[in-house]
Structure 1
Amino acid sequence: MGVVPALSQGGMEMRRYTRVLILLMALFLLAGLYYPSASAAKYSELEQGGVIMQAFYWDVPAGGIWWDTIRQKIPEWYDAGISAIWIPPASKGMGGAYSMGYDPYDYFDLGEFYQKGTVETRFGSKEELVNMISTAHRYGIKVIADIVINHRAGGDLEWNPYVGDYTWTDFSQVASGKYKAHYMDFHPNNYSTSDEGTFGGFPDIDHLVPFNKYWLWASDESYAAYLRSIGVDAWRFDYVKGYGAWVVKDWLSWWGGWAVGEYWDTDVNALLNWAYDSGAKVFDFPLYYKMDEAFDNKNIPALVYAIQNGGTVVSRDPFKAVTFVANHDTNIIWNKYPAYAFILTYEGQPVIFYRDYEEWLNKDKLNNLIWIHEHLAGGSTKILYYDDDELIFMREGYGDRPGLITYINLGSGWAERWVNVGSKFAGYTIHEYTGNLGGWVDRYVYYNGWVKLTAPPHDPANGYYGYSVWSYAGVG
């Protein structure tokens, strides 16, 4: 036999270093930090259902600073696990430096021509926009452009023979020199008298007119081509109730990419018909309003009834549903922690609102839920228990995501309940992954599927967030 050498001084130091490292890792776990940084983990792509950040809100600071503001936040959003950012409409609007972009004047002015009293848009210059997009791409984050093509705004007066009066439909003075529309390009005209809907009294674009199709999407000189040329990856279509689903379908046939439409309605059939006809996803407004009813008014049965009876997009076709808690237009849900716990652990593709993440909520809690979404949440859903205050549901797991159990508690006291999870976790120890129970908490699931789960009170002001999330121990 050979002689086993004594440990060298360097080897002893290495062992001490390793013990200290293990101790530090254990302390982090006990503190409730159960997720690694995104740079050390695999996060899903936008097309695979990854988490989206709505990177703006209504009336973001003016002065041309917003593209730089987003650019500076991208590294942190990457670490959090964000797969894509949804940016505001980038073209020069009628309101010039004050426009939020939903009043498009010159589609081909991204902050490079002096018109409407400014060179830059509210958000900055074209150069700053391109730099922001390039930064996002360096971090593997996709960029979703907000597409406003139902109407135009800010044109000059001209005589319109189709209405027998003057209309604000002369766009011949756009500084870019591209897409110089006139009255014959808007409703009514010799092609049609109207379409699905108008907005705000602005001139209503007629998408059947070949001139409009050419400049908006159906050519290599189009607005869509221009956005592609600066690096835009995907599309969010504004006010799609205002024009036919065929427009988005044809846009995507030309340019491809992930897409979602804002079809603001609670009629699930109408939303899904639009989604199937267009080839895009759709924001789940029915779910949004049911979450408000459930989490703000302690009416969880209304949410469960809608889910179980096809009253939401996500319950009918989760692959078409983009879910959200707030956006730049609407912010009615006040109890946001259970709402985010729901959309980030349930089916559908979730969006996080900028102000919730950066200003109003606990960022660490949202980061933890993003990690849970990306590492645990997969497969179909089974509701295990509900009443006015409590909701417990299980995801069955899919691929490398093992599934989870979410326990939402709207009550003012601690909640504890036995539930049967069936064979999914039977015989295993499951771990609580949010840290909301005050440390490292495991529970054993009996072979008959029964397990006792706990959820904290809903009292964010005092550090209780009203939800817990469970899965196999040792994930991540």
Structure 2
Amino acid sequence: MHRRRCRSAVLALGVIAGLLAPTAVAAPPAAAAPSGTKKVIANLFEWNWPSVASECTNVLGPKGYGYVQVSPPQEHVRGNQWWLAYQPVSYRIESRKGTRAQFQSMVNTCHAAGVKVIVDAVVNHMSGQDAGGTGWAGSSYGHYDYPGIYQTQDFHHCGRNGGDDIANYNDRYEVQNCELVNLSDLATESDYVRSKIAGYLNDLLSLGVDGFRLDASKHMPAADIAAIKGRLSRSAYIVQEVIYGAGEPIQPTEYTGNGDVHEFRYGKDLARVFRSEKLAYLKNFGEGWGHLPSGSAAVFVDNHDTQRDVGGVLTYRDGGIYALANAFMLAWPYGSPTVMSSYTFSNRDAGPPSDANNKTLNTTCYSGWECEHRWRVVANMVGFANATQGAGVTNWYDNGNNHIAFSRAGKGYLTMNDEDGAVTGRSYYTGLPAGRYCDVIHGDFTGGTCSGPVITVDANGWFTANVPAHDAIAIHTAAKLS
């Protein structure tokens, strides 16, 4: 399509540099937790615990992220591939990302920075190695033998497809009682298994964890998850991984009674709009597109699974268009948003930067790590999301194509131009109080000053500006200059 023909050239000429630049990091006040409602999650995929702790203090807290999602912390099989962290061999809190003591220190440090901690919890299955072996922390294991935890009677053995694997996603029994790529499938209907899973989650709660992403939730009946949740020692945020499949018998809506559910259609639909359709179509994005109810939906542009499915979603490789998609997600009032923070990978199995023993290295952004959550446009739009909580969409504008704008009812305003040419000298009605505002797409607002462009809203709520091709302007009341 014509509007896409010039994209690579336009982005290469500088838009990428502006949208992807890391935001300035200011030292946070001592032990002062950021105030206000904060719901944005940063998924620091495969970061080790000392690096997560440092990031909470230096970036996530100061920028207003409410939560950090960390990768599975339990003992897993040995190796480097990313998916080995999703093959537990025990519930010991010791992995290539760090020790139990380091994990505890990380949680405490993040809390001191005002950031809550969500653990990616693998509770549907154990490992997938037929031969077994020795786990990261020294625990011996077999495919259905985890000494002191589980034995063969604690797993499903569905007897289908020549190896117990799932083959037919239109068969509810098979999806929830057979094995996902040979991973030993726990019998979560068993009282004993439920007690062991709850014990693991309660151990994490005792370390101060605030919530869980329940991996592979689709492969467990919603009632089993509810029963495990009922055994938790205290309340915790729950988000469940349930991938939507058209016409399949297991649907994400079955799980909303337990907590939030990942809305996988969100990222795919957003990618299609930004790549080949019209931003004007986003006017009713979310429930209007058949997605989950907003109050139950956990949304993301990409996550660690979908970014490895070539062409399905936008990822860090898409540069400026990816930054704009994240800006839209953080400005639009649908669901609870998660920002992905990746490491660089050249094949879908590649694990994180590691030493010779496969221990995950400390994160050094832009040296093997992408750190998308630090990109100026992404990090600063977290503040926009916080400032506009609870405000509806008003003053929608679109040109019928790829220039859109909208207010968040007296609290913020975004205009986005994804055309191949600049929009010049146009006036926008914001409904915001008169004053001078920092354009947080291009500048950091710190100490009452703005490092980038300043937008002046007049007494009637209007401003006039130029918006370059494939770029945006965003202002909000928490980034208003005195």
- Report 1:40-439 matches (<5 A): 43=34, 48-57=37-46, 66-76=48-58, 77-95=60-78, 100-111=83-94, 121-153=95-127, 169-173=143-147, 177=148, 179-188=149-158, 194=174, 196=176, 198-217=179-198, 222-255=199-232, 256-265=235-244, 273-278=253-258, 280-304=259-283, 306-307=285-286, 309-313=288-292, 317-331=293-307, 332-333=313-314, 334=318, 335-347=321-333, 348-355=335-342, 358-359=365-366, 360=370, 361=372, 363-382=375-394, 384-386=396-398, 387-396=400-409, 402-416=410-424, 417-418=426-427, 424-425=431-432, 428-429=434-435, 431=437, 433-434=439-440, 436=442, 439=453
Inter-partner Cα distance in structure 2 for 1:67 and 1:263:
27
Structure 2 portions without partners, runs of 5+: 1-22, 133-141, 160-171, 308-312, 344-363, 444-451
Inter-partner Cα distance in structure 2 for 1:443 and 1:123:
48
Q: Tell me which amino acid in the other structure corresponds to 1:299.
A: K
Q: Residues 309 and 383 from structure 1, CA distance in 2 versus in 1: closer, same or farther, beyond 3 angstroms?
A: farther
Output the aligned Cα RMSD.
3.7
Inter-partner Cα distance in structure 1 for 2:206 and 2:228:
15
Q: Residues 470 and 155 from structure 1, CA distance in 2 versus in 1: closer, same or farther, beyond 3 angstroms?
A: closer
Structure 1 length-normalised TM: 0.70
Provide Cα deviations, 1:2-33, integer angstroms capped at 9, x if missing partner: xxxxxxxxxxxxxxxxxxxxxxxxxxxxxxx9
Provide Cα deviations, 1:300-335, integer angstroms capped at 9, x if missing partner: 24444654734333xxx3222222222211223121
Cα displacement (A) at 1:134: 2.2
Structure 1 portions without partners, runs of 5+: 1-32, 61-65, 112-120, 159-167, 397-401, 460-465
Task: Tell me which structure has the larger Cα radius of gyration.
Answer: 1
Q: Tell me which amino acid in the other structure corresponds to 2:453.
A: G
Inter-partner Cα distance in structure 2 for 1:281 and 1:172:
31
Provide Cα deviations, 1:148-181, integer angstroms capped at 9, x if missing partner: 12221157679xxxxxxxxx643143xxx3x132
Structure 2 residue aligned with 1:7: none
Inter-partner Cα distance in structure 2 for 1:87 and 1:126:
14
The answer as to whether partners of 2:384 and 2:476 remain within 8 angstroms in 1 is no
The answer as to whether partners of 1:97 and 1:122 remain within 8 angstroms in 2 is no
Q: Which range is displaced more, 223-232 or 247-256?
A: 247-256
Inter-partner Cα distance in structure 1 for 2:456 and 2:295:
32
Cα displacement (A) at 1:203: 1.9
Identity %: 18
The answer as to whether partners of 1:34 and 1:434 remain within 8 angstroms in 2 is no
Structure 2 length-normalised TM: 0.69
The answer as to whether partners of 2:154 and 2:186 remain within 8 angstroms in 1 is no
Q: Tell me which amino acid in the other structure corresponds to 2:411.
A: G
Inter-partner Cα distance in structure 2 for 1:96 and 1:248:
30
Inter-partner Cα distance in structure 2 for 1:245 and 1:308:
22
Structure 1 residue aligned with 2:352: none
Q: Residues 239 and 392 from structure 1, CA distance in 2 versus in 1: closer, same or farther, beyond 3 angstroms?
A: same
Cα displacement (A) at 1:436: 3.6
Residue 468 of structure 2 is aligned to residue 457 of structure 1: yes
The answer as to whether partners of 2:239 and 2:261 remain within 8 angstroms in 1 is yes
Cα displacement (A) at 1:285: 1.7
Cα displacement (A) at 1:127: 2.2
Provide Cα deviations, 1:121-155, integer angstroms capped at 9, x if missing partner: 22122222222222222223211111112221157
The answer as to whether partners of 2:126 and 2:185 remain within 8 angstroms in 1 is yes
Relative contact order, higher structure (CA 8 A, sep 6+): 2
SS in 2 for 1:293: helix
